[in-house]
Structure 1
Amino acid sequence: MIMIRTIFFVLSILCSGVCLGQITIQGKVVDAHNQPIPSASLQVVGQTQGVATDFDGNFSLQLESLPASIRVSSIGFVTQTISLSDSETLAIVLEEETMSLGEIVISASRTPERIFESPVTVERFGLKEIKNTASVDFYDGLENLKGVDINTNSLTFKSINTRGFASFANTRFVQLVDGMDNSAPALNFTLGNLLGMTEIDVQSVELLPGASSALYGANAFNGILFMRSKSPFDFQGISAYAKSGLTSQKAAGDNIFWDLGIRAAKKFSDKFAAKVNFSYLEGTDWFAVSQENVLMPGTGREQIDYDGLNVYGDEVSTNIQAVGLALAEAGIIPSGAVNLLPSENVSRTGYLESDLTDYEAQSIKFDGALHYRPFADDLEFIYQVKVGKGATIYQGANRYSLKNFFLQQHKVEVRNDNFFLRAYMTDEDAGDSYDMRFTGININRSWKSDQQWFGEYAGAYIQATLAGASNDQAHQLARQTAETGRLIPGTPAFERALNSVTTNPDLATGSQFRDGSQLYHAEGNYNFSHLIDFADIQVGGSYRTYRLNSFGTIFTDYDGPISYSELGLYTQIQKKLMDERLKLTASLRYDKSELFDGQMTPRFSIGYTAGIKRNHNFRASVQSAFRNPTTQDLYIGLDVGRAILVGSSKDNLDRYVRDFPVNNPAANGGNATATISARAAYENSFSVASVEQGAPVSSGVELVEPEKAMAYEVGYRGHFGKVTVDLNAYFTDYNDFIASQNVIAPLYGEVGDNSLSLLALQSGDYKVFQAYTNADSQVQSYGASIAVASKVLNGFDISANYTFADFEQDDPEFRASFNTPKHKFKASFGHTELVKNFGFNVSYRWSDSYFWQSSFGDGNIPSISVLDAQLNYTVPKIKSIFKVGAANLSGEEYYTAYGTGHVGTQLYVSWTINNF
């Protein structure tokens, strides 16, 4: 606090010039119940001056001259325009907006327009919704929007999904914070709000479900989220919040969490303003404790070849008879003893996930911005910095414990009402993060090598069999023998091994992953509407460079960083006809990655406003979209245990080269090891399905190309008195759908030679690769949603929405990873002021069961029903709002993805002070 005040004091001395000769207009903005409306916007018509009301609804506005007109607006209220002829004190009463579709959005067309007239489906979450959400924070509250799913990765890391094909990385969805893409450049996941925006600095959130490539480029494929922060010119003062409560889960028990934040903003003059934000969250993550056997669902640890879902180290498995053959060839056991060993796979004993992480959840966020208007008009220069550090659990191909994960962004921007030009960079540092699967594997190897463990297992099994033991008894004795020397969780020896493995980036002996990747992005847009009367015309473009630097732990950047760039150009024309009832919008974008051919993505939409009161809007749109392969699709080279992930860029095929031991050296020309590269996945591999069916054939997998789609959408928005209706339906046809495909590459022999390669399969001498490619099958998705909202019984807000989503494919072996419930229903009921200063909200959501597919694992997700509730009380004298609430009030634990911790109940109380 002292530092913030000192900064403001110094800046105020440097920027203390005050404009003289201006006219001051003061007043208060209230609602029909004479309650103040904080953060209401007052804008001088035709000029750039504007302010926002403080917590008590008061304002003071500087005018250059009179007469003048000011436009007064606030989310949830009808906008008014007031004419002024003298410097009177104003008492402005805003009428509550019964039609939420009147809110202004920018994202749909890159220009301000009402949701009612937007050419595509758009959802908005503003200050009113943030205040009234029953969720623990505003980001969780987005899940109550129609057509939106939030997949809970962990307590502090959640991923938004719209219109299917979701994963936690969700590379078909873009999230922008003040125009900056906040996805991790290397790991490819959108960071949710782990390192995003502080709640008290959020002005609005807009979400476009569906394809948006025509304006926003390659990865705005299934949706895009815009989060916009408050300007220090409009929202001044010091605001803060404190939130605390309990997370309750059967596996983890009851744990306290804290969430604290402060915002300080100052308008020093009409030319200069600044702000800083800081927040800190800590708690305990949801424990993931499933011991389901992923190799044989429905069975447990009694299986000799056991691979537990949240158990790590047991992925190391081999054919015990093949081990006997190797022992016999080495002269360790008699050759006849091999026949006593069954041809069965045996796995090492793993460690529980809860033994390998402390489940710490932490988020530390700081951001600051300097805003300069050199002429005290709409031309504005901005420098913004965002810094975040956190600890959480991330689930990708494996489960990762992110420790001291660090991300920073720096942006410079110049803009006015007609253009913007911005450039920013994103820099990530994985900190002390590690892969929990390899932690378990290499802790095992630290006390006994795989060769020794399986050798002791085979020897003990033979001895037990010769002594008359049954097969089950022999396996039990063999495991007990091999487990001699096992490190026990909680002991000093185990903790030393855990620390040694998790700080070692070599996956042969450790599990730490290192990353110092960066992203550089520049973009601009110019709107010619003030120069051209015929139509609104915009042009723009963007340029992006990736610099991958994982030091060889994730990507094949063993000899230095890997860089490549993407370029995009677009234009849009928008025209209103027929007394502005008919609105036509056409867009066209061209994108070019240096690794692929260029892509054209047009969009055309038509909207018509009908009715005497203009209260019905019909719309239709068709647009193409595309998605470039991600950094991991192109350059990953990572052995995750069950498979080796290899990117499919042409220059990546010979980057990943490894030597592997073989079980049958005689078949490999007497060599005990075989060298294999990523090229084998694409040029010398069997399809998994054919091997399982006993008739191995070539996989035929090809190098990955950009994914394309054609999206069609129709919609209707209308209001009938106090009732609003918003519905849409869509159909998307995908081509070259990007997906991963597991293939089996023999360590020796050529696929199709019907001899050595088949012998390699029989001997267990092969590696499973996960190759990134395009599906040959046709993939289509379709769905519809409807939302109805109204005010009833003298001011109660009631709303409900339903969403249907499904897909089709013509290849049953293709893994589409749709990962989305077919049916979803959500509803909310509340009142902003049931009695003076007291409000409440209750929200409910239900989704049916669905099947989850990912590189980590596949499994069924049961149907869920979740009830959230909150009570809030406003104390105007201290400019405070107190809230008490509960997320998942019923306490019935649920999960949204296979392998994650089950979500329990979260109880919270909060105190927010808004001094605007």
Structure 2
Amino acid sequence: MRKTTSYSACMLLALFLSIAAFAQTVTITGNVKNSSNQDIVPAVSVTLKGTSSGTFTDDKGNFTLTTAQKPPFTLVFSSVGFESQEVTVNSASQAVNVSFRPSSTLGTEVVVSASRVPERILESPVSIERVGAAAVRASPAASYYDIVANLKGVDVVTSSMTFKTPTTRGFSKSGNTRFNQLVDGMDNLAPGLNFSVGAIIGLSELDVDNMELLPGASSALYGPGGMNGTLLISSKNPFKYTGLSFQIKEGMMNTDGRYRDISAFHNWTARWAENINNRFAYKITADFIQAKDWVAADKRNYAGRPTGRGQIVPGTRESDPNYDGINVYGDETTADIRAVFRGIAAQAPFLAPYINSISADPINVSRTGYDEKDIIDPSTLNFKLGGAVHYKFTDKLEGVIAGNWGTGNSVYTGNDRYSFKDFKMGQYKLELNHRNWFLRTYTTQENAGQSFAAVTATRLTNEAWKSSTDPVNGWYSQYGQAYLASKMAGLSDAQAHSQARSVADVGRPAAGSDEFKELFNRVRSVPLSQGGALFIEQSDMYQTEGQYNLSDITGKVADVLVGANYKVFNLDSKGTLFVDTAGTIKIREYGAYVQASRRLFNDVLKLTFSGRYDKNENFEGRFTPRATAVIKVAENNNVRVSYQTAYRFPSTQAQFINLFIGGGTQLIGGDKSFQTYYNFTKNKPYDFNVDGTPGGTHNFKEYKPESVSSYEVGYKGLFGNKLLFDVYGYYGKYTNFLARTIIGQPASEGAAPNPLTDRRFSVPYNVDQKVNVYGFGISIDYRLPANFVIGGNLSSDVLDNADDLKNSGFIANFNTPKYRTNLSLSNNSLGKKKLLGMSIVYKWQDAFFYEEDFGNGGIPAIHTLDAQVSYKIVKYKSVVKLGANNLLNQYYYNGIGNSFVGGLYYVSFGYNIF
């Protein structure tokens, strides 16, 4: 028995030794440096040729690769901005030190978003713009999000420092619902507030790997909302980018004290990532911004009544009794003081003849307002945390648990000027990524915190101090009596109004006083549903989606992708934003897509066909096709032709919003339930004519999704690795264009319309008229001697039948300059040791007319100059940068009611960022 046991033990030992010998591994180490300046090169891909196994260099340029394959074998080194290199390893003891050769990046970038599969940007079937991590580092922009504004064909609406809304091809406004923004595959949309929140949450600057922009229609692959474009922002993989990185950015803004006293700008960001045995990796990121925000200070007079189709008119508070300053709040409350006169005439009949002789026309008077700087706390605060855990189950399958969370204060312009105070939003996902497929599920959790409507809060503050409607001690009663007394005393009309306002405003709380703060804080803390200005917004969204690349199976016929998604919105505003007092509103959507592509004639022609079907439970399903062709006319020269469609279901707010926006107007959704809720079926509402007079009865038609068909031709070519040229032209046709109109409702059934006193509603509807747009874009990038790169782009977007639409009373909200251009000059390796860097960007856009719920008016032409110089401290892996946005401090605004943006000057120190 013992002998048998001994034999068995020997056999097991021999087996284990054999397995160990068979599974013996080889570990290769090495280092990668830039051949031109001997800088370390992190995040270089190191793969074993002919396999998918590999690793990346760390923050010191070092790498370690373990393999069961015995030498000799070949390692492949690759990274954006460098020539791919192969090194043969003959021995396990061989130290692999690579002198990595930089290359021109013009046209060599690989993009994913255009077809959902990797391809060279030169071969993209549709127009696309890309910004890599190196461009983010070299940009003079204080925020990576601002770089998007310099891309061809892009418009950005700046509500405030941290709330910016990009779009392409027209119909631009704050919180644009026609433009998708995806961060690591997660829609950046705030489920209840209804718009992408941009940089308020998301990635820190040090964690941005690249940004890809698809201008125009992009729903076929990315779903509802991509009418005017899709922006995809991708983070750095912790397997590839490791170590500690941090950046401290300090600056100044409001430097001339024109609108606000000079103030400091602070931006601190850090990232820590670690790769453990190339199997497990994690990262943690943090970003903090603190500053005194830009202020909205447009004092122009806005005539918004009686129909809400306002315009800029002459007048100031001193010259116009009914003055309504665009960024003066509280003066939206207005009344005809002849009603006061009639009350006086009834009590003193002997004055009636004189009173009746004063005016046959309305004498509209607005209450005295407060400037935005007196209302909204300027303390911009933005704090973001992010993190991810990655685990490689196999060389082909990677799992990810990730999350981004942000909180802070910001300002947004919609139908009101909204102050986001203690706003919070988080996005969390689980993801499996395979070479051929992915499966992702994520949620977005939103909390509006103490956010409030600034205009509404100020109007209510006025009312809390002194009622407008009290017949004895009310503000208008006192104003009307003082005005009448002044007129009887022989004063001129202007003098009488000035005297009357002085009397009615006696004791009015001064901005910033304890009394004012007490009144204002009281009303802004009361929910909108209870007559205050506070949002209680805690909506969320859940989405699951997946994609499979069938090309390994179908490759002989075509490369095929299939994908699907399921989404649920839970709207929860406690009646402050939605008609949800009875409970949470759920909206469900699902969709699926397929794409097939084939190369023909020895890769001279590539054809791609895509189709997507989506269904929202409140609307009929929609199918959106896309067809593209890429024709290779010469090496690195391609012509692209595409037909694309896009659509969007009415947004969550467009369906269920129920918000009083002041001036007698209720903003409501398009769901049929509102017709019963507001008794429209019996007390019929009426439309307004263009001149503001009552029109015919408003007919509620079926509310439908909006769609666009876009035709585009483009060409992209690379000449001698020095000149990159790109040009496109497009034409788009909208169907069932989604818009809003103002309707009135008589005081009671059968009553005659009275636009001055009737309740008004802003209702969504589909436009019957044709809405067509067209435009072009052209860009040139040229690599000069001594590492200089010069670039420029010009683009244009035009609303085809703008005059016809305006004459019909339709407000298109196109909000786009006809022409815009960007010019740039950069060099990231100046000097004998190539340690200096610089970049300068000039941006110009044409003047245009802007239309939005908050106000309509002209936007002057904009000229801005951004610049930076930098110096590398190689020994400490650090970069010092001195930069400026809007270097010449030319204040501008790009939307009515938005902040006036001045110069921002900063110096930064970054560690381990190159």
Question: Is the structural similarity TM-score above 0.5?
Answer: yes
List aligned pairs for 1:6-21, cutoff 5 A: 21=25
The amino acid across from 2:879 in the alignment is I
The amino acid across from 1:791 in the alignment is R
- Secondary structure in 1 matching 2:220: helix
The amino acid across from 1:536 in the alignment is D
Partners of 2:159 and 2:413 within 8 A in 1: yes
Distance across 1 between alignment mates of 2:519 and 2:702? 40
The amino acid across from 1:189 in the alignment is F
- Picking from 57, 62, 84, the partner of 2:61 is 57
Residue 347 (structure 1) shift: 1.0
Residue 42 (str. 1) matches residue 46 (str. 2): yes
Alignment correspondent of 2:418? 400
Residue 305 (structure 1) shift: 0.8
Alignment correspondent of 1:660? none
Distance across 2 between alignment mates of 1:412 and 1:689? 52
Moved more, 417-426 or 683-692: 683-692
Distance across 2 between alignment mates of 1:320 and 1:652? 34
Residue 30 (str. 1) matches residue 47 (str. 2): no
The amino acid across from 1:308 in the alignment is G
Moved more, 864-873 or 906-915: 906-915
Segments of 5+ residues of structure 2 without an aligned counterpart are 1-22, 304-311
Partners of 1:30 and 1:57 within 8 A in 2: no
Distance across 1 between alignment mates of 2:143 and 2:316? 38
Distance across 2 between alignment mates of 1:333 and 1:262? 78
- Picking from 409, 416, 424, the partner of 2:427 is 409
Alignment correspondent of 2:572? 549
Q: Deviations over 1:771-796 (max 9, x none)?
A: 11111111111111111111112211
Partners of 2:685 and 2:745 within 8 A in 1: yes
The amino acid across from 1:711 in the alignment is S
The amino acid across from 2:688 in the alignment is S
Residue 74 (structure 1) shift: 2.2
Q: Deviations over 1:797-841 (max 9, x none)?
A: 111111111112332221111111111111111211111211111
Moved more, 57-66 or 104-113: 57-66
Residue 717 (str. 1) matches residue 738 (str. 2): no
- Picking from 629, 638, 641, the partner of 2:650 is 629
Residues 1:518 and 1:871: Cα distance change in structure 2 (over 3 Å): same
Residue 257 (structure 1) shift: 0.9
Residues 1:738 and 1:326: Cα distance change in structure 2 (over 3 Å): farther
Distance across 2 between alignment mates of 1:299 and 1:31? 66
List aligned pairs for 1:830-841, cutoff 5 A: 830-835=826-831, 836=833, 837-841=835-839
Alignment correspondent of 1:3? none
Distance across 2 between alignment mates of 1:328 and 1:397? 39
Alignment correspondent of 1:344? 363
- Secondary structure in 2 matching 1:890: coil
Residue 585 (structure 1) shift: 0.6
Residue 514 (structure 1) shift: 1.5
Distance across 1 between alignment mates of 2:225 and 2:295? 32
Q: Deviations over 1:214-249 (max 9, x none)?
A: 111111111111111111111111111111101125
The amino acid across from 1:866 in the alignment is T
- Picking from 568, 575, 579, the partner of 2:598 is 575
Residues 1:822 and 1:96: Cα distance change in structure 2 (over 3 Å): farther
Distance across 1 between alignment mates of 2:702 and 2:464? 37
Residues 1:40 and 1:652: Cα distance change in structure 2 (over 3 Å): farther
- Picking from 402, 407, 416, the partner of 1:384 is 402
Residue 32 (structure 1) shift: 3.6
Residue 287 (str. 1) matches residue 285 (str. 2): no
Alignment correspondent of 1:226? 232
Residue 890 (structure 1) shift: 1.2
Residue 691 (structure 1) shift: 3.2
CA-based RMSD: 2.2
Alignment correspondent of 2:12? none
Distance across 2 between alignment mates of 1:98 and 1:736? 46
Alignment correspondent of 2:544? 522
Alignment correspondent of 2:393? 374
Partners of 2:29 and 2:62 within 8 A in 1: no
Distance across 2 between alignment mates of 1:691 and 1:245? 49
Alignment correspondent of 2:878? 880
The amino acid across from 1:806 in the alignment is V
Residue 85 (structure 1) shift: 4.0
Distance across 1 between alignment mates of 2:204 and 2:912? 13
The amino acid across from 1:560 in the alignment is G
Distance across 1 between alignment mates of 2:527 and 2:682? 25
Alignment correspondent of 1:277? 285
Distance across 1 between alignment mates of 2:817 and 2:717? 27
- Picking from 824, 844, 853, the partner of 1:828 is 824
Alignment correspondent of 1:467? 489
Moved more, 331-340 or 740-749: 331-340
- Secondary structure in 1 matching 2:182: strand
Distance across 1 between alignment mates of 2:699 and 2:178? 26
The amino acid across from 2:419 in the alignment is S
Q: Deviations over 1:262-318 (max 9, x none)?
A: 111112233321111111110010011222111252311121111111111111111
Residue 401 (structure 1) shift: 1.0
Residues 1:821 and 1:225: Cα distance change in structure 2 (over 3 Å): same
Q: Deviations over 1:437-494 (max 9, x none)?
A: 0111011001111111112222223333333333333322322222233111122111
Residues 1:430 and 1:619: Cα distance change in structure 2 (over 3 Å): same
- Picking from 499, 508, 512, the partner of 1:477 is 499
Alignment correspondent of 1:687? 688
- Picking from 76, 80, 85, the partner of 2:81 is 76
Q: Deviations over 1:184-234 (max 9, x none)?
A: 111112111121210111111111111111111111111111111111111
Residue 555 (structure 1) shift: 1.1
Residue 897 (str. 1) matches residue 881 (str. 2): no
- Secondary structure in 2 matching 1:479: helix
Partners of 1:703 and 1:772 within 8 A in 2: no
Residue 641 (structure 1) shift: 1.2
Residues 1:745 and 1:331: Cα distance change in structure 2 (over 3 Å): farther
Residue 888 (structure 1) shift: 0.8
Distance across 2 between alignment mates of 1:678 and 1:60? 72
Partners of 2:815 and 2:851 within 8 A in 1: yes
Q: Deviations over 1:326-347 (max 9, x none)?
A: 6767999986675266431111
Residue 44 (structure 1) shift: 3.4
Residue 899 (structure 1) shift: 1.4
- Picking from 160, 177, 180, the partner of 1:174 is 180
Alignment correspondent of 1:353? 372
Q: Structure 1 length normalisation: TM-score?
A: 0.91
The amino acid across from 2:775 in the alignment is G
Residue 645 (str. 1) matches residue 649 (str. 2): no
- Picking from 275, 299, 303, the partner of 2:315 is 299
Residues 1:588 and 1:97: Cα distance change in structure 2 (over 3 Å): same
Distance across 1 between alignment mates of 2:143 and 2:366? 43
The amino acid across from 2:703 in the alignment is V
Alignment correspondent of 2:608? 585
- Picking from 203, 213, 216, the partner of 1:210 is 216
The amino acid across from 1:626 in the alignment is Y
Partners of 1:680 and 1:745 within 8 A in 2: no
- Picking from 330, 333, 349, the partner of 1:313 is 330
Q: How many positions carry a matched residue from both structures?
A: 864
Residue 512 (structure 1) shift: 1.2
- Secondary structure in 1 matching 2:798: strand
Q: Structure 2 length normalisation: TM-score?
A: 0.91
Alignment correspondent of 1:134? 140
Alignment correspondent of 1:428? 446
Identity of aligned residues (%): 36
Distance across 1 between alignment mates of 2:58 and 2:869? 23
Partners of 1:714 and 1:729 within 8 A in 2: yes
- Picking from 828, 833, 854, the partner of 1:856 is 854
Partners of 1:132 and 1:840 within 8 A in 2: yes
Partners of 1:555 and 1:636 within 8 A in 2: yes
Partners of 1:195 and 1:390 within 8 A in 2: no
Partners of 1:29 and 1:40 within 8 A in 2: no
Alignment correspondent of 1:757? 752
Distance across 1 between alignment mates of 2:685 and 2:538? 33
The amino acid across from 1:143 in the alignment is A
Distance across 2 between alignment mates of 1:336 and 1:743? 37
Residue 547 (structure 1) shift: 1.0
Distance across 2 between alignment mates of 1:45 and 1:853? 57
The amino acid across from 1:720 in the alignment is F
